[in-house]
């Protein structure tokens, strides 16, 4: 062995030790920054600066340090560990922010937190039993079913029709941009916009667009969000308006994949446009329709923002996610709220698995 090789081997333990110390220091910095950003008295600009510096620079430094640490190891060990070094932060984030909260929520759902000053008591299924015995929960489940039926049905149907129609006009990109524009608005922002559409009056003045039309035609102003059961459908309209653009964009790409020769041959054979649409286009893009539908179903099962902003679940418009929020953060019934969260999770999981399988087949 040459003097150079012995020198390199002698430096390797030192470099490994320095890399381990650097990783440890970065972990300490991450913990400190996390606690600092949670402090109520911390200045906002300092919180933003720490989040930017540590969130970007810290992660970058962690990757470099871990890569340098692995580089000091033997070749076989290095080749085995290097991929895991780069996915480890992502796995940690998933574990801390997704896996652990899910397990913790499941655990909390089996306890009663309404007695004993917030101390969990009475382990059992009482939260799940009480959920399905509560008439309000049954109303929320009924409303969720309405959302599940009408939002995917109308959003996908309208999106598909628009995708086929705008494919034939000169201003296709402009038309698609206008229809897709609501997707840039958050659910909360869209709810605020539509609340002004449905409002009855503000300080004695009519500001709602619907009531402005009704009163202009000689009718009386209506409290739209109080009228049952139509108030549920008025809320559903908001999500259809938001999601139609999403369905249109995805389905438009699928429609463009229909062979032009197939469509032309159908027209030569005398098939009408309606027959081409129902017997050629829809079967050809059926897998995409199924994927878009299941994606919308997952979004609908988790719907919360629109109901919370528009009615807060009043007038029999509550949904399961909003009831979960009210039980957990307003009533302080953590067990009941966790049980509702688990119910949503159980409902979403099989649909999500089906959606992933469909995307993998595509």
* pLDDT over 60 (residue 128): yes
Cα gap 224→81, rounded to integer Å = 61
Strand, helix or coil for residue 297: helix
Decide which of 59 and 142 is more confident.
Answer: 142
Averaged confidence pLDDT in the chain: 84
| Dihedral angle, C-alpha 139, 140, 142, 147, nearest 10 ° | 150
pLDDT at 4: 44
Whether the pLDDT of residue 276 is over 70: the answer is: yes
User: At residue 119, does pLDDT exceed 80?
Assistant: no
pLDDT at 2: 46
Residues 207, 330: Cα–Cα separation, whole Å = 31
End-to-end, the C-alpha distance of the chain in Å comes to 56
Distance between CA atoms of residues 210 and 224, nearest Å: 9
Q: Is 5 helix (H, G, I), strand (E, B) or coil?
A: helix
Choose among 26, 48, 53, 25: nearest CA to 37. 48
pLDDT band at 146 (very low <50, low <70, confident <90, very high): very high
Give pLDDT, residue 237: 94
Which residues lie across from 226 on neighbouring strands? none
Tens of pLDDT, residue by residue over 202-259, are 555 667 788 888 888 888 888 888 888 889 999 999 999 999 999 999 999 888 888 8
Q: What is the pLDDT of residue 278?
A: 87
Greater model confidence, 7 or 142: 142
Q: What is the mean pLDDT of residues 101-119?
A: 81
pLDDT for 59 beyond 90: no
Residues 6+ apart with CB under 8 A from 197: 208, 209, 210
> By C-alpha distance, which of 147, 257, 245 is closest to 190?
245
DSSP state of 258: S
Handedness of CA 29, 33, 36, 42 (dihedral sign): positive
The model's pLDDT over 67-92, given as tens digits with 9 standing for 90+, comes to 888 887 788 888 888 888 888 777 88
pLDDT at 202: 57
Three-state DSSP state, 46: helix
CB 325 within 8 A of CB 304: yes
- The better pLDDT of the pair 132, 1 is held by 132
pLDDT confidence of residue 13: 75
Residue range 4-58, pLDDT digits in tens? 444 444 456 777 778 788 888 888 888 888 888 888 787 888 888 888 888 788 8
pLDDT band at 262 (very low <50, low <70, confident <90, very high): confident
Question: 162-205: per-residue pLDDT in tens?
Answer: 988 887 777 878 888 888 888 888 899 999 889 888 876 555 56
Residue 118: pLDDT band with limits 50, 70, 90? low
Q: How much is the pLDDT for 123?
A: 79
């Amino acid at each position: 062995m040459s003097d150079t090789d012995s020198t390199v081997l002698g430096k390797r333990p030192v470099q490994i030790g320095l890399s381990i110390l650097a990783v440890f220091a970065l972990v300490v910095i991450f913990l400190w920054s996390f606690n600092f950003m949670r402090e109520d008295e911390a200045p906002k600009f300092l919180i933003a600066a720490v989040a930017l510096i540590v969130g970007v620079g810290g992660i970058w430094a962690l990757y470099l340090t871990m890569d340098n640490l692995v580089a000091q190891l033997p070749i076989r060990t290095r080749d085995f560990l290097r991929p895991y070094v780069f996915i480890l932060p992502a796995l940690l984030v998933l574990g801390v922010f997704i896996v652990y909260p899910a397990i913790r929520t499941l655990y909390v759902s089996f306890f009663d937190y309404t007695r004993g000053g917030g101390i969990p008591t009475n382990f059992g299924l009482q939260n799940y039993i009480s959920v399905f015995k509560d008439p309000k929960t049954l109303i929320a489940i009924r409303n969720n079913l309405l959302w599940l039926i009408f939002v995917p049905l109308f959003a996908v149907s309208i999106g598909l029709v628009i995708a086929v129609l705008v494919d034939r006009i000169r201003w296709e990109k402009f038309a698609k941009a206008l229809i897709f524009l609501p997707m840039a608005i958050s659910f909360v922002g869209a709810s605020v916009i539509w609340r002004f559409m449905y409002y009855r009056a503000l300080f004695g003045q009519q500001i709602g667009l619907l009531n402005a039309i009704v009163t202009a035609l000689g009718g009386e102003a209506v409290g739209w969000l109080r009228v049952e059961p139509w108030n549920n459908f008025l809320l559903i309209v908001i999500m259809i308006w938001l999601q139609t653009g999403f369905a249109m964009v995805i389905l438009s790409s699928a429609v463009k994949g229909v062979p032009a020769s197939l469509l032309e041959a159908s027209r030569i054979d005398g098939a009408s446009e309606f027959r081409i649409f129902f017997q050629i286009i829809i079967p050809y893009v059926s897998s995409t329709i199924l994927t878009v539908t299941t994606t919308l179903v997952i979004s609908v099962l988790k719907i919360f923002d629109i109901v919370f902003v528009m009615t807060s679940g009043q007038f029999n418009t509550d949904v399961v996610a909003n009831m979960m929020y009210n039980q957990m953060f307003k009533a302080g019934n953590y067990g009941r709220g966790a049980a509702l969260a688990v119910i949503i999770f159980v409902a979403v999981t099989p649909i999500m698995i089906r959606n992933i399988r469909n995307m993998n087949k595509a």
